[in-house]
Amino acid sequence: MKILVVNGPNLGLLGKREPEIYGSETLAEIISRLRGYAADRAEIQDFQSDIEGEIVHAIGSAMNVFDGIIINPAAYTHTSVAVRDAIAGCGLPTVEVHLSNVHKRESFRHESLTAPVCVGQIMGFGSNGYQLALDALLAHLNNRKIGE
């Protein structure tokens, strides 16, 4: 299995940015730990950008290359119809992940434009959410293959 992990704006600042909300691990540390966790179950390729169009392009380019996507759209969760449409358009099962529980935060963070086109959403478990997202996505992919 090949999984693309997409991270949106400001996630390159992890480890420095508001550690009381987002934790002290850097994005590189989170991805490294995810690769180790995936071991022989999945190949992980990651992509991070603060630029909406680059994220849209990465998602669109994943078609026929990857089996699924894990995405932390960050602030684009609440604002980007383009990211939402890219997820819907690429046809790949996608799991949305957030480090914090957005429902415990400001009200403008409560609505996700991307969640309705994802197979599921995981939030509030810090960097462990990426591992939970991987488990959920692989289970979804394996169930889909069994039922096809």
**Does the 2-147 domain belong in CATH 3.90.1150.10?**
no
What contacts 24+ positions apart, CB below 8 Å, involve 15-24?
A: 21/99, 21/100, 21/105, 22/99, 22/100, 22/126, 23/99, 23/126, 23/127
Is-above-0.75 flag for pTM?
A: yes
In the three-class reduction of DSSP (H, G, I as helix; E, B as strand; rest coil), residue 37 is classed as: helix
Which is the catalytic residue, given 22, 37, 76, 110? 22
Whether 140 is a known active-site residue: answer no
What token pair was written down for 5?
């992990």
What ranges do the domains of the chain cover? 2-147
pLDDT tens by residue, 97-146: 999 877 656 676 657 899 999 999 999 999 999 999 999 999 999 997 65
pLDDT tens by residue, 5-38: 999 998 998 888 777 777 779 999 999 999 999 9
Which is the catalytic residue, given 37, 57, 78, 98? 98
Amino acid 18: pLDDT: 72
